[in-house]
Amino acid sequence: MAWQRKILRVNLTNGTCTPEPLNMEWAQDYLGQRGLATKYFCEEVDAKVDPLSPENKLIYATGPLTGTMASTGARYSVITKGPLTGAIACSNSGGYFGAELRFAGWDMIIFEGKSAQPVYLHIENGKTELLPADEIWGRSVWDTEAILKKKHQDPMIRVSSVGRAGEAQVLFAAIVNDLHRAAGRSGVGAVMGSKNLKAIAVRGTLGVGTIRNPAGFMQATVAAKKVLANHPVTGQGLPKFGTQVLMNVINEMGALPTRNHRDVQFEKAGRISAEAMHEPRPTDGKPNLVTNQACFGCTIACGRISKIDETHYTVLNRPEYWGASGGLEYEAAWALGAATGVGDLEALTFANFICNEDGIDPISFGATVGAAMELYDLGLIKEADVGFPLTFGSAEVLTRLAELTARGEGFGKEIGLGSKRLCAKHGRPELSMSVKGQEFPAYDSRGIQGMGLAYATSNRGACHLRGYTVASEVFGIPVKTDPLVTEGKPGLVKAFQDATAVFDSSGLCVFTTFAWTLADLQPQLAAACEGDWSMEKLALLGERIWNLERQFNNAAGFTGKDDNLPQRLMTEPAKTGPAKGLVSGLDKMLPEYYELRGWSKDGVPTPATLQRLGLPA
């Protein structure tokens, strides 16, 4: 079976926790996690809902392989309507919380309404209760976890919570579990904060004893783990250097967005790279990187654990930041660094710690700071508006804004609106480097053309994790394609988007796809889950989920016109590097993409497409 067949419905308005059977018919069509929770969400929530109103819902969802012995079976997702974008939001996190939720016997939690007072949800297997959050409201994610473990006298409790940013409804607030793993994007933390829901503390001791064919599952997972271990990327590259190895690669390729995408190469990229994290510092002789770390059940272990130089200005006389904690991943290092022009590795690490401590998305935060710095550079934001100059490249500005934004204070409130609203407020909406209101990650679509289409069509706004064509255009996985051309990219983007939707719905990590294809996932699902899990069914499943998300967005008011990129990427050619002279060729790719998807010229799924996928018109 694999599913626990049980969801928990929490009505925050009434203060009730009600178990319900999982809809197994839907599980056959949407698998779990991203797909299944999106189905529930679309069935229960009006697409026009105000994301920060009690009528919006927030779903915590695991996949059927979460908490099992499958490698990377750590994942859970948070599905809601995102306040940053107004689109469907689905943010995925690792760590240990998702597995613990499954061990307690739950597939999913649906939060609805709004509590009159701050509360948290305590789960101990089948016992569920909403408790007052007086002791933790106003506290950071880090404090919240420590307080709840002490209060419940159980160090094994896993906590997923919002920090002060979520409470302040910063529009890109994250939900953080296990101190530094996050459902980071689209502002899911703001929705949680809007409901006066501070945290979920869960302890599960039941395990996942619902595997359809345990012996077959063991065989399938062992085989799949061997594939990961023997692949040079998942077996060696990611454990040692993490995702941060990309900093020098993407810079060399001239696709590293720099200073709000004014440039495509950052002169200080080497100083904030994976290699730099390994180098002993001149001050204390120790490297920034302490070790790598794995999430539950993961045999890759790409996570970074870092320690800041105790003599660095950010932590001088602040011993609370001297411990080892979640270090820089590539996207965070890019946003906090290249996007703002800051080349101080220790300052970026500190800003990253703050993002984890109080729950904000470092991508949207760093990119919004970059936009604010450009507005300041153009004289549209004045020093008097902020209290200090927003100079590109200033580490002090970055770290100060991180603390202000994470706590919803001072000019941090403006940064907390995200770049779209900030740039519109100052009369230059085109300077927001975003799609559907969500800021770009770390690849310039002038230098990696497929990513322009992936960003423009991503259902949750600009995102690299919805269709990571970088794998093909840069790494050569599964085949090498030329990053500078548009030919063939619509099909590539669609294939990545559909396959990713399946992985995101399984409970496993999309990073396995550097070594695996759906053919490696399929035997694990088939052994674990009842029903038909053929390759054909999985291919259809991914496409169905993608179209369901699209239908929600269309119903929310989005149209094909929103499948767009900022003017800068379409009209200002890259200044240096291999893409010098190029702009994004989105206009060449989008019509073919719509055709491949079976959508109208306006980006609407046709009745025939919906019928083929089993979706209601």
Binding residues for other proteins, per CB under 8 A?
A: 231-234, 236-238, 240-246, 248-249, 252-254, 270, 274-275, 279, 330-331, 464-465, 468, 470-471, 474-477, 480, 482-483, 510-511, 514, 577-578
* CA-based torsion, 125, 126, 127, 131: positive or negative: positive
CB of 253 to other proteins, least distance (A): 5
CB of 247 to other proteins, least distance (A): 9
Would you say 110 or 471 has its CB closer to other proteins? 471
CB of 349 to other proteins, least distance (A): 18
Counted residue by residue, the chain has a size of 617
CB of 236 to other proteins, least distance (A): 7
Question: For the chain, what is the radius of gyration of the CA atoms?
Answer: 22
- Label the pairing between strands 303-306 and 76-81: unpaired
With tokens 């001050």, the residue in question is 283
CB of 174 to other proteins, least distance (A): 17
Would you say 47 or 335 has its CB closer to other proteins? 335
Distances (CA, A) of 408 to 173, 337, 360, 381: 10, 22, 11, 19
Would you say 288 or 551 has its CB closer to other proteins? 288
Instruction: List the one residue out of 406, 408, 460, 370 whose CA is nearest residue 83.
Output: 460
Would you say 49 or 477 has its CB closer to other proteins? 477
- For 604, list phi and psi in degrees, rounded to 5: -105, 130
CB of 503 to other proteins, least distance (A): 13
What's at 469, amino acid-wise?
A: T
CB of 398 to other proteins, least distance (A): 22
Would you say 511 or 533 has its CB closer to other proteins? 511
CB of 230 to other proteins, least distance (A): 11
Quick check: 351 and 336 in contact, CB under 8 A?
Answer: yes
Would you say 81 or 446 has its CB closer to other proteins? 446
CB of 4 to other proteins, least distance (A): 30
- Label the pairing between strands 325-326 and 303-306: antiparallel
**Cβ-based neighbours of 562, under 8 Å, separated by 6 or more:** 435, 436, 553
**Which H, E and C letters describe 220-254, residue by residue?**
HHHHHHHHHHHCHHHHHHHHHHCHHHHHHHHHHCC
CB of 270 to other proteins, least distance (A): 7
Around 254, how many Cα atoms within 13 Å sit in the side-chain half-sphere? Answer: 16
Alpha carbons 554 and 371: distance in angstroms, whole number: 28
Instruction: List the one residue out of 459, 408, 414 whose CA is nearest residue 438.
Output: 459
For residue 170, give both structure tokens.
């910063």
CA angle, residues 132, 138, 140, in degrees to nearest 5: 105
Would you say 130 or 332 has its CB closer to other proteins? 332
Which residues are 93's β-sheet partners? Answer: 76
With tokens 């810079």, the residue in question is 251
Would you say 206 or 294 has its CB closer to other proteins? 294
Would you say 341 or 577 has its CB closer to other proteins? 577
Would you say 331 or 361 has its CB closer to other proteins? 331
For residue 359, give both structure tokens.
């729950």
* Residue 612, Cβ density class (10 Å: 0-12 exposed, 13-18 middle, ≥19 buried): middle
DSSP, residue by residue, 137-170:
TTS-HHHHHHHHHHHTT-TT-EEEE--HHHHTT-
* Residue 227, Cβ density class (10 Å: 0-12 exposed, 13-18 middle, ≥19 buried): middle
CB of 245 to other proteins, least distance (A): 5
CB of 464 to other proteins, least distance (A): 6
Would you say 26 or 475 has its CB closer to other proteins? 475
Alpha carbons 333 and 348: distance in angstroms, whole number: 7
Quick check: 88 and 549 in contact, CB under 8 A?
Answer: yes
Would you say 48 or 278 has its CB closer to other proteins? 278
Would you say 325 or 469 has its CB closer to other proteins? 469
CB of 602 to other proteins, least distance (A): 31
Would you say 195 or 446 has its CB closer to other proteins? 446
DSSP for residue 379:
T
Would you say 64 or 95 has its CB closer to other proteins? 95
What's at 229, amino acid-wise?
A: A
Instruction: List the one residue out of 57, 64, 60, 73 whose CA is nearest residue 26.
Output: 64
Core vs surface per residue 385-414: b (16+ CB within 10 A) or e: ebeeebebbbbebbbbbbbbbbbbebbbeb
CB of 232 to other proteins, least distance (A): 4
CB of 303 to other proteins, least distance (A): 13
